[in-house]
Structure 1
């Protein structure tokens, strides 16, 4: 064998090893996900006491484990994406913080009593047996999980709540017809498709504009930062104190509105007092540049994303295991569609661990999409996105408006991007009145100020937001409810035909 042939054989072996390694990496995440689902099945076998519907409860546990994985893969990216895109956190750091905070929020503050989605979306005309109700919940959960899985594969951040809504509506229609759907509630959900991103985008862009006016556009950025960064930190702390009290700690503590406002004020003032010397000690070592000043927002941003993840785990774990809790209640009592059901610890555990596992295995792809591919982020922009998301959800909850945290966060990112784009094109919209024109050396090079202005106006506008992502995400939002509903209805029809159900 000559040397050339040997080299070719060695290259083939190296290529085969590389291909094998790539395939093993691609199969690792699905394999680990399958192990988690299997563990959830075994966990449910030992946790549920048994009864005539025990096999349906076990099936529901498997479906909920799959749903929890998808919630972690898709929904959590909205909190961590901006921080990763702004380089405040590495991907590994973001995954670690989100996994811990999501699981802690679900286990420590996840509601011990949840309102069944069906009690809001379906009318009292839904007269089903306990068995049929369990099938409705199972079909709804599986359909929503499948849709979120598809959306994650397509890099589209969607609302897990709306996915569950579509699943329940579709299975309810398949079980009892269109008359059982509470259509006014569906109307408010459709309205939230507009309210959530617009409100979040406007607020995030307003916060970023204030940050530029008070700090980033000043000639002496360091002095402005010493004065105003503590104000932003105090505002963030006060808002998140109220946010956690009303949205994230309902299981542990449910204070009234006056106490919530006092709590927010006290927390904000305390954070301001602490941050004044903290910022003051760091400013002298910085250069008078936007990049250095933006770094002062890094630690507050990390804290904000952690708190958002905690509150998300406390609230949205019900999207993953709420249907399972309803299934367990129906199996134990023999009653269909109870308005409120207990959330057993073993059910909560499946949701909490599943969200963390789904985030770790499948979250990075969508985190990069949200944080890097829509528009460019830095610490200040990401801070404004996180604060706007918390403020929007807080205000909407107080007013009783239906908003999606996913839509709010993504809308805030687009709002920040469009504000940057608008500001960068200021010279095109309003060209300078005076244009320096070099003296002409001959008539053919003679150019007037008016011609220079026209040339400036004809310059291409800068595009700082990727429009194709906006269209794709908006399309995914619009079809989430009908897609989940259609799949859920088909799944319910199939489940009714299976032997033993």
Structure 2
């Protein structure tokens, strides 16, 4: 056989067809000519029958070389099919955007949705832990870590996967006339207005309602698109704009009633007794049961719309609520009671947090010989708020000294400031990592990145967790001492027993907030993404992607950690005296209000509930001066300004863009 003839036969062996009908075959497009087999494609490999081999010698056709070549070709086609898969189909998980001409609007939506979530963390989430931090049940860093965990878990694990496209039915979908571009622009303008207003309010320390902010912004764009009759100005089954104005009165009033009821129960059953610590231990299982039941109700009615738990029968829900509360009460008897008994009653300062898990063994644990003596170390934190403890400025305090502070200062203090200045200058001069030569040199770039840039970024991101909340509250002349009668302070040991329950209620409120309100905040952004990716108007219900919830939760946690202290300082001791027993009553009263309101469709806000509960608990002291009414006035002013400012800003922005001249 000549070499040329062998090449032809080998080509026929490889292709399975005569050389004149040889075609290139790919994994994405298969062209079969003169084949006696089906196509070759990804996942389906049908080897040709090599009909041209019938002209060869039978011995060669069945030889090892022939089989080896066919096997190699089979493997080559199979690997090519795997390495070159067909393009993915357009599904909900993978969808290429349709409205490429509006990519810039989607980019604006991402930016301002992130800013909105950031400010929700700095303003709204701070409400859940403001009383715990002000009562000293948690440090600011512990509160940020707890909020980061429970807000994120609530949003990702049981967060609502379906959010109202048009928040709370403020404007009907017919306003957009099936125009995807107008709907996309409307929600971008709403996010821009809401996020900017939240930024201003947080900077001014106004604990405004984030829900009211976005609802007002959507109403504003509704007026710009469909005219003054487009929004639902009436009650609309608890979803109209009238509910916003009603909520300004309803939420604080109801929450104040529940908060004061819980605190009066603790006050007369425990705090007013001759031995309040003993009574606090005896009644603690009941309050643990109450906290467990309320927390379960909060998760069922506010935090699990995607799981459908709230759709179960009333008997099942009642059994779940009572059963969970009973289990938590029983666990408190087994583990918590002996733990606090060893710390509070026996004064055992050697007890650590991990001893909590040995439970009943702590009943027989012997305290140190000097436990309870005057010079012994105390195992109980000091929950008393002392203004004088924060009067002296710290070395790292960068606040500018006013003339009044100079006049009230001790005569020996002026000589201290130059010392601090000289010390800081010496520290700056003694830089352990100086930059020598041009900064673009590799070693200097490493020094800048390692010892300059990274510490600066770390300082910026952790600044909010290092702020002394109580020092901020004490800096105001009309706070703490001016609005809290020292006659209403109770034993520190007794207050300690309510700190754990207060932390439980705060974490549960944070979990429910992440599960329910995060999806509502990300709702406008999910509409923007749906319209941008599909090119059609969003329906009345819009699915919220999991990555959007994760994005919102991350921005929310960053906002709380970096700027949440500004709102915590306002909602704490600047309004009234805080302690673990008072803070527990405030949080529990607010939680009960939110749960009942969600069941009956009443318009309430978390911010308004915690503020009203704080006022109700403060008035239980029997004195109007126990409340800082000036601070309350500023808070109410922020609530009232939210509605017209957010709505007007969004409406004007939308109207200007819609009616802008074009050429």
TM-score normalised by the chain length of structure 1? 0.79
Q: Partners of 2:521 and 2:337 in 1: how far apart?
A: 41
Whole-angstrom CA distance in 1 between matches of 2:207 and 2:662: 37
The structure-2 alpha-carbon separation of the partners of 1:119 and 1:385, relative to structure 1 and needing over 3 Å to count, comes to closer
**1:499 CA drift (Å):** 9.4
Residues 16-47 of structure 1, C-alpha deviation per residue, up to 9 Å, x if partnerless?
A: xxxxxxxxxxxxxxxxxxxxxxxxxxxxxx99
- CA apart distance, 1:284: 6.0
| Corresponding position of 2:533 | 332
What is the aligned partner in structure 2 of residue 171 from structure 1?
221
Aligned equivalent of 1:102, options 136, 151, 164:
151
Alpha-carbon separation, structure 1, partners of 2:147 and 2:339: 29
Rate the CA distance shift 1:394–1:500 in 2: closer, same or farther, 3 A. farther
Q: CA deviation at 1:369?
A: 1.5
- For 1:229 and 1:241, locate their aligned partners in 2 and report how far apart those are by CA, in whole Å: 18
Q: 1:295 to 1:119 in 2, by over 3 A?
A: closer
Q: Which has the higher helix share?
A: 1
- Corresponding residue number in structure 1 for 2:97: 50
Shift of 1:281: 5.0
Question: What is residue 644 of structure 2 aligned with on the other side?
Answer: 482
Structure 2 residue 274 is matched with structure 1 residue 274? no
The gaps in structure 1 that reach 5 residues or longer are 1-45, 426-461
CA offset digits 1:357-389 (Å, max 9, x no partner): 111111111112112211111111111111112
**1:254–1:183 CA distance, 2 compared to 1 (3 A):** same
Question: In 2, are the aligned partners of 1:119 and 1:338 still within 8 Å (CA)?
Answer: no
Deviation at 1:290, TM superposition (A): 2.4
Distance 1:285 1:179 in 2: 64
Counterpart pick for 1:152 among 176, 179, 202: 202
| 2:163 alignment partner, SS class | strand
Q: Distance in 1 between matches of 2:552 and 2:298?
A: 22
Deviation at 1:253, TM superposition (A): 4.2
Residue 341 (structure 1) aligns with: 542
Larger Rg: 2
Please state how far the C-alpha of 1:118 moved relative to its aligned partner: 4.6
Counterpart selection for 1:191 from 246, 256, 265? 246
Unaligned runs of 5+ residues in structure 2 are 1-92, 235-239, 347-489
Counting only pairs closer than 5 Å after superposition, residues 232-243 of structure 1 correspond to structure 2 as 232-243=287-298
Corresponding residue SS for 1:114:
strand
Match of 2:504 in 1: 303
User: Match of 1:341, SS?
Assistant: strand
For residue 251 of structure 1, give the secondary structure of its aligned residue in structure 2: coil
Q: Aligned equivalents of 2:168 and 2:511: distance in 1?
A: 26
1:467 aligned partner: 629
Deviation at 1:204, TM superposition (A): 0.5
Contact 2:96 2:533 in 1 (8 A): no
Cα-to-partner distance string for 1:173-195 (whole Å, 9 max, x where unaligned): 01110111111111122111111
Contact 1:294 1:378 in 2 (8 A): yes
Q: Does 1:79 find its partner at 2:280?
A: no
Whether the 8 Å contact between 2:154 and 2:303 is mirrored in structure 1 is: yes
Note the C-alpha offset of 1:227: 2.0
In 1, the alpha carbon distance for the partners of 2:590 and 2:96 equals 41
1:204 corresponds to which of 259, 262, 267: 259
